[in-house]
A and B are shown apart, each in its own frame.
Chain A
Amino acid sequence: MIGLGKAFCVSATCAVLVGAASFLAVDRGLFAADHLDPPGRTDAAVDPNPDVAADIADVYAWHTANNVVIAMTFAGPQPASRAPTYDRDILYTINISNNAVPFDPEFQIRFRFGFNGQAVGVQFTGVPGSTGPIEGPVETNLVQGPVVVRAGLFDDPFFFDLQGFKETRSTGKLSFKNDRNFFAGQNDTAVVVQMPRSALENGTNPIRIWATTARFGGNI
């Protein structure tokens, strides 16, 4: 059984998910942006009980004239038919440093999922520009002042020739194809956080962002 027992999945599809995950484990290999890494905890090809919910896929961060946007994807890539993965026991953290010490976060955006029956909610704390926790249903824009957050199921935004990389690594020959995107048509569960850049700016210091996941009660 893969690690979906505490995650959201519609009961009729849970058995299908197990089979789908097993198939993907054979097909995906070890390289992506961060999908299935570390394999010893998140890749069914290596770990018979992978922590799918805690598997970070990607971290995106960009700025506009007024805002900084961070998108964090996880639990993917997964087939388009699979329900999103919401696990109450995972603590997701987006760390942000905005001073001269690049590894000491001044801000820690934390989010977790909770349930009301089969309904799923998300709670954010520590979002720069917010005045307190932000919580509400998934698949919904949650607004607090200048801050907007959302959790839900999205297209996997990463594009890469995974097969080409695997062939390159196994043969030592460059084998990429620019018309082959392994991640096309697949989904991730994800959150997007939009906050005012004024809440993050600290003179001319760059801001540094990294994400972590952690499981309540220890690794599965």
Chain B
Amino acid sequence: MRRSLRLTAGVASLSLALLLTACGGGDSKTSTPVTPPAQSAPLVIPAPSGANFNVLPCLSQLVAPGKTVANLVVPDTVTIDLNAPSGFPNGRRLTDSVIDITLAALFLDLTREPVTRFVNLPLGPQANEVPFRPDFPYLAPANGNATLPPFAASGFNFRTDAPAAYTRVDRMGMPAVATVVIGPNEKLNYNDGDPINDDKLQYYPEINRTLKAFADALSDDFAAANLKMCATPN
């Protein structure tokens, strides 16, 4: 455990301690001040009567050797082991079905379901509508015939202002983290933050709250489809 943390709720403290264990090491020497996030209203998703699940087992389960689901979310970065094959969650290729894999990691018991369960169904679309280019720049050409700017080889008036003259608008690491597990009232704080704030588990209460809302709501559908959830009844 790398640092002490104070939470008011005992349950949250226990969950946080377990998540910290799952998250691995960190370093506070480069800490940057960020305004603590305001308490947000929980995301409301219609759920079956009595559904009340604990999502901590989802965050602490292994998605790859030595890597928990929490490791994918905290800190919020795309991570590449250059000595392992490329493919989500080891990096993110253009062709990877990242949403179906992410949803499986967040909601299914990966000891009883493959992380590819939703890919294999498939749950969502599994490929781009047009092929990617095999060589640089890899992305597919633009659709339609949008008007492009005229050409000039040089003479552009780039700003020379230091980064401190700019104000943060957006940040992104892993797909769907900021959009799915961070609720609407935490969005600005989250996007003003950095991975160091993720590492301090500043957003953990919101992540837990949002995942629980989805797990409670979808528990009956998962059961009906015989899908084994990682969340456990409280």
Contacts and interface: CB of A to CB of B under 8 A. Distances in A.
B137 to A, nearest CB: 4
Contact of B188 (A41, A116, A168, A184): A41
Interface size class of A (residues with CB under 8 A): 35 or more
A162 B179 CA distance: 12
A31 interface: yes
Interface string A163-185: 01000111111101111110111
A153 B142 contact: yes
Nearest to B81: A206
Interface in B174-213: 175-176, 178-180, 184, 187-188, 190-191, 194-196, 198-199
A69 interface: yes
Nearest to A154: B139
Contact of A91 (B163, B190, B194): B163
Contacts, number: 337
Interface string B126-156: 1111101000111111111111111111111
B93 A114 contact: no
Interface string B149-171: 11111111111010101111111
A145 interface: no
A112 B144 CA distance: 25
B151 A103 contact: no
B83 interface: yes
Contacts of B5: none
Given A38-B191, A62-B93, A104-B27, A54 B146 contact: no
A44 interface: no
Interface in A35-58: 37-42, 51, 54-56, 58
B121 interface: yes
A137 B221 CA distance: 51
A204 B91 CA distance: 15
B77 interface: yes
Nearest to A214: B166
Contacts of B159: 88-89, 91, 112, 114, 216
B122 to A, nearest CB: 5
A92 to B, nearest CB: 10
A162 to B, nearest CB: 10
B66 to A, nearest CB: 11
A155 B121 CA distance: 26
A214 B168 contact: yes
B62 interface: no
B65 interface: no
B187 A39 contact: yes
B92 interface: yes
A101 B75 CA distance: 11
A97 B141 CA distance: 30
B46 interface: yes
A171 B46 CA distance: 6
Given A114-B159, A154-B141, A141 B136 contact: yes
B221 A155 contact: no
21 contacts: A33-B172, A38-B190, A39-B187, A59-B175, A62-B86, A62-B94, A71-B137, A80-B145, A81-B144, A97-B195, A102-B26, A104-B30, A121-B156, A123-B158, A152-B137, A154-B142, A155-B139, A160-B99, A177-B124, A201-B82, A215-B166
Interface of B: 25-27, 30, 45-48, 75-83, 86-87, 91-94, 97-99, 121-130, 132, 136-159, 161, 163, 165-173, 175-176, 178-180, 184, 187-188, 190-191, 194-196, 198-199, 217-218, 221-222, 225
Q: Which 5 A-B pairs have the closest CB atoms?
A: A80-B144, A121-B156, A119-B152, A114-B156, A214-B166
